[in-house]
Amino acid sequence: MEQDNKTTEQNSQEPATVGMFLKYTRQNQKKSVEAVAKALCIRKIYIKAIEESDFNELPPVPYGIGFIRSYADYLGLNAERIVQCYKEESMPKKNDTVAKPIVKKHTTLTMPNFKQILVGICLVLVLYLLVLAFGRDNVTTESEVSDNIAVEENYVEPEVENVVEEQVALVVEEDTVTVVEENYVEPEVENVVETNLNPVEQKNKIVVKFNGESWFEVKDDKQVYISGIYQKGFEYEVPDVPNLIFSVGRYFNVDVFINDELVKVAGPKKQTNIKLDDFLNH
């Protein structure tokens, strides 16, 4: 009896979800949430969301799955098995569809009555008259087309020599006019050009260089310019447009150069939703 009570107590204490299992393992290893977040460079809210199975709080695929895999590796667990269980929990279960019986409709054959026969005869007559009328129209159109073809064959174009000579004369006159206009120079053109020349402001040159693996994103209110996980050696030149939002995962693996100067844009306290306008001169 005592052994049965112990087994029932152990079964009741076993974690029911992946998050509870990770939390149970962390507590057995006497590690705090802050220590895990600092070691994995993952925010505490994501660690708590994993342990509480709050799938809406986690970032979308593949970042959420990457956080869970890193957490399982850190605790010395089977990461692939943990990720597989997480996918099974997070995916919505499909409801079993009950097959509905197919009802076959039995058609009954009935004999047509007198009205239906009369309507059918009328329709046949109307169709016959339409076919006759359409055939007559085709005959008339074909005769008209043949007459037009005969007229076109008998038609002789007049001589075009005089017209060509007049067009050549007009072209020569237009060329002379354009030459005169090109030779004419207004005296005040140079001053106007000098007054309209304004110095062009130098655009901001923003280059992001990766010295390690990290997630990275640049967007504004209208579109996302770049988003994903990039490796060491990758470089990206950010477009010089206002209202850009800068986000990064591992800030220590990403260097931001503004006008060839290294600028500390992200840090341990601020890694996402950073306004680049605070560092630029628009």
- Divide the 282 residues of the chain into consecutive groups of 10 and give the mean pLDDT of each group: 43 65 88 87 85 78 79 84 81 52 56 86 92 74 61 54 49 43 46 42 82 93 92 92 89 90 87 86 66
pTM of the predicted model over 0.75: no
Residues 246-278: tens digit of each pLDDT: 999 898 999 999 888 898 888 888 889 898 888
Distance, CA of 253 to CA of 41 (rounded, Å): 12
Q: Which domains does the chain have, with CATH numbers?
A: 13-90 (1.10.260.40), 206-279 (no CATH)
Spatial distance between the Cα atoms of 195 and 197, rounded to a whole number of angstroms: 6
Rounded CA-CA distance 237/257 in Å is 9
Per-residue confidence (pLDDT) for residue 233, from 0 to 100: 93
Comparing CA positions, the residue from 59, 54, 57, 56 lying closest to residue 22 is 54
Specify the pLDDT at position 99. Answer: 46
Smallest CA-to-CA distance from 278 within 261, 263, 267 is with 263
User: Which class for 95: exposed (0-12), middle (13-18), buried (19 or more C-beta within 10 A)?
Assistant: exposed
